[in-house]
């Protein structure tokens, strides 16, 4: 749908940066325009999307020259980088530490492009949301837990006669021009329905009367709770259809179905589909005549791909549409008549592929190491605390020998390659266990469940040989090996941090004994180290 041209300005006396960067293909929907300057020209910065500076420059001054949203990268030696203060670091999007190699520049630039792509798609997702809710003729609003309005659509603004900016952060009585005394009395302010939604933590349908400048208005209102990542309530979202002037509920229902931005199926009490809105027909590439009268249960099984039939209410499933896998969020809501007799069911289908992709990206960012893709400390502690139970916990503390020498001699990009190589070998060696990068060249293999000492020693020895054989195939890495410390505990009262310290002590003892070996923790070992 979108296309984006990136204006890239490189300031460097050396040709390495432009030569490497110009060879990197743009991401899909992106194009590149390059300019290389051997000296700094302030006027060449202002209209650039990406500025890569390999010349002396003060970060804050450079940032002021850049346009809003531009990416600023500064290339510095290790000493200069270490001397940067917080204001300068905040002015930069990234720092490339010299000396720079072709591979390092390529990888860093590709990551930078991916960051820009994610920014673009986040802005696009916001545009989608704004366009979607503004295209809905019904009133749409988002509130925080205190009842302050966070976001509304154009229809809402038209109804209350105020702008979005004027509405943002304000409560009901101000927006609907009520007197504070009337609001506090609780009439025509919808407070009770908000409390019900928050208490029941599910989508609810209400008939509500609101006092406005145009007099009393009758709304048919859907309200749903909004949850944070940890499951706590953040607020509510509502969609209200003005039924003040509708002649009957049948016309109201038809109008709602026609204008709903979601795929909707309606089934009767016998489980037969009686209505499918235009969005459903469009989304599932079917006609109303092909679906009406069919079994709702059969249709539901067809989208579950052979999986178990979930309990009625809310579930997610995956389908293929136009050759792509999509994630669908399904809501099932019962329909009752005026006597509270169950007469049918609404089924709402919403494509949440983008949301789930972003959620997964956020999860990876929070729980994995960006260089190796292994789990980080945060994930390790959470996982162990959740799954340890009463069983044994075993740790292999892995530290690379002579890693600093490789970094010092060949550069950090070779060191990064070594860490990535080790990570891949550890995944191969321990496919069913938790592998963690603790930091630097230190790793942790976590095993849950009963393991004998002999088993742990065998696995550690196999890993040592695998690493050593691989290192020997590389001229730059052949000086490297690994030292491993082993610690395990069957007592669930033993703290994880204590077990990590024990495995660390054992690893240190292995290094003292000559490196490229393992050592098992014992109380005697602790006293001797």
Task: State the chain's mean pLDDT as an integer.
Answer: 85
pLDDT at residue 390, as a whole number: 65
Looking at the fold, whether 194 and 55 belong to one and the same domain comes out as no
According to DSSP, the residues that pair with 368 across neighbouring strands are: 375
Domain boundary among 88, 119, 150: 119
Report how far apart, in Å, the C-alpha atoms of 360 and of each of 159, 302, 315, 332 are: 38, 26, 18, 25
Domain boundary among 326, 359, 392: 359
What is the β-pairing status of strands 4-11 and 30-37?
parallel
126 lies in a domain?
Answer: no
Domain boundary among 359, 385, 419: 359
* pLDDT one-digit tens code per residue, 27-84: 988 999 999 999 999 999 999 999 999 999 899 999 999 999 899 999 999 999 999 9
Looking at the fold, whether 461 and 382 belong to one and the same domain comes out as yes
99 lies in a domain?
Answer: yes
Closest CA to 237 of 133, 154, 165, 124: 133
Q: What is the CATH number of the domain that holds 433?
A: 3.30.70.270
Looking at the fold, whether 220 and 243 belong to one and the same domain comes out as yes
What backbone torsions phi and psi does residue 352 show, to the nearest 5 degrees?
A: -115, 25
221 lies in a domain?
Answer: yes
- pTM for the whole structure: 0.42
Q: What is the CATH number of the domain that holds 305?
A: 3.30.450.20
Report how far apart, in Å, the C-alpha atoms of 346 and of each of 205, 257, 288, 343 are: 12, 10, 16, 10
Looking at the fold, whether 348 and 497 belong to one and the same domain comes out as no
How far the first Cα of the chain sits from its last, in Å, is 63
275 lies in a domain?
Answer: yes
What is the β-pairing status of strands 393-401 and 442-448?
antiparallel
Report how far apart, in Å, the C-alpha atoms of 227 and of each of 201, 209, 312, 343 are: 9, 27, 20, 30
| 449 three-state secondary structure | coil
pLDDT at residue 247, as a whole number: 34
What backbone torsions phi and psi does residue 353 show, to the nearest 5 degrees?
A: -60, -50
Which residue segment(s) compose the domain that 198 sits in?
136-259
Looking at the fold, whether 389 and 321 belong to one and the same domain comes out as no
Looking at the fold, whether 98 and 228 belong to one and the same domain comes out as no
Looking at the fold, whether 84 and 140 belong to one and the same domain comes out as no
Looking at the fold, whether 160 and 278 belong to one and the same domain comes out as no
* pLDDT one-digit tens code per residue, 105-117: 999 999 999 988 8
* pLDDT one-digit tens code per residue, 486-506: 999 988 888 889 999 999 999
CB 326 within 8 A of CB 353: yes
Looking at the fold, whether 255 and 266 belong to one and the same domain comes out as no
Mean pLDDT check: name the lowest of 263-272, 352-361, 503-512.
Answer: 352-361
Q: Tell me how many domains the chain contains.
A: 4
Q: What percent of the chain has pLDDT over 70?
A: 91
């Amino acid at each position: 749908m979108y296309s984006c041209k990136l204006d890239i300005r490189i300031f460097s006396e050396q040709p390495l940066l432009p030569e490497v960067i110009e060879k990197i293909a743009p991401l899909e929907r992106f194009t590149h325009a390059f300019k290389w300057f051997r000296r700094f020209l302030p006027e060449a910065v202002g209209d650039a999307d990406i500025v890569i500076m390999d010349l002396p420059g003060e970060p804050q001054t450079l940032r002021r020259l850049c346009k809003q949203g531009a990416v600023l990268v500064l290339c510095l030696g290790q000493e200069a980088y270490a001397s940067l203060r917080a204001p300068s670091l905040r002015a930069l999007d990234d720092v490339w530490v010299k000396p720079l190699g072709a591979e390092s520049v390529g990888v860093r630039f590709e990551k930078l492009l991916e960051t820009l792509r994610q920014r673009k798609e986040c802005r696009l997702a916001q545009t989608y949301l704004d366009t979607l809710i503004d295209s809905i003729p019904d009133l749409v609003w988002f509130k925080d837990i205190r009842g302050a309005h966070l976001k509304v659509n154009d229809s809402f603004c038209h109804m209350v006669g105020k702008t979005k900016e004027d509405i943002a952060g304000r409560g009901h009585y101000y927006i609907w021009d009520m007197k504070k005394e009337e609001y506090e009395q609780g009439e025509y302010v919808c407070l009770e329905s908000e409390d019900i939604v928050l208490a029941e933590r599910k989508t609810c349908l209400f008939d509500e009367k609101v006092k406005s400048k145009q007099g009393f208005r009758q709304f048919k209102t859907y309200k749903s709770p909004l949850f944070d990542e940890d499951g706590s309530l953040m607020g509510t979202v509502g969609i209200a259809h003005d039924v003040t002037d509708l002649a009957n509920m049948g016309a109201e229902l038809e109008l709602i179905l026609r204008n709903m931005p979601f795929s909707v199926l309606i089934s009767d009490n016998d489980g037969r589909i009686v209505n499918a809105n235009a969005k459903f027909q469009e989304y599932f590439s079917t006609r109303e005549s092909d679906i009406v009268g069919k079994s709702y249960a059969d249709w539901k099984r067809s989208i579950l791909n052979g999986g178990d039939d979930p309990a009625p209410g809310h579930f997610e499933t995956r389908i293929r549409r136009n050759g792509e896998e999509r994630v669908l969020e399904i809501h099932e809501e019962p329909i009752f008549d005026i006597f509270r007799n169950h007469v049918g069911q609404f089924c709402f289908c919403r494509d949440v592929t983008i949301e789930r992709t972003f959620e997964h990206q956020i999860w990876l960012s929070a729980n994995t190491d960006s260089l190796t893709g292994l789990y980080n400390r945060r994930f390790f502690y959470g996982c162990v605390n959740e799954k340890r139970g009463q069983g044994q916990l075993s740790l292999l503390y892995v530290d690379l020998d002579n890693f600093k020498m490789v970094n010092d001699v060949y550069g950090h990009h070779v060191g990064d390659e070594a860490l990535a190589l080790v990570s891949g070998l550890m995944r191969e060696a321990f496919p069913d266990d938790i592998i963690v990068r603790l930091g630097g060249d230190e790793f942790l293999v976590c095993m849950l469940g009963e393991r004998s000492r002999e088993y742990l020693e065998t696995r550690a020895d196999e890993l040592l040989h695998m690493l050593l054989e691989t290192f020997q195939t590389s001229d730059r890495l052949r000086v490297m090996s690994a030292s491993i410390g082993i610690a395990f505990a069957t007592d669930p009262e033993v703290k994880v941090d204590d077990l990590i310290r024990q495995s660390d002590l054992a690893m240190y003892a292995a290094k003292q004994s000559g490196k490229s070996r393992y050592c098992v923790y014992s109380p005697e070992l602790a006293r001797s180290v």
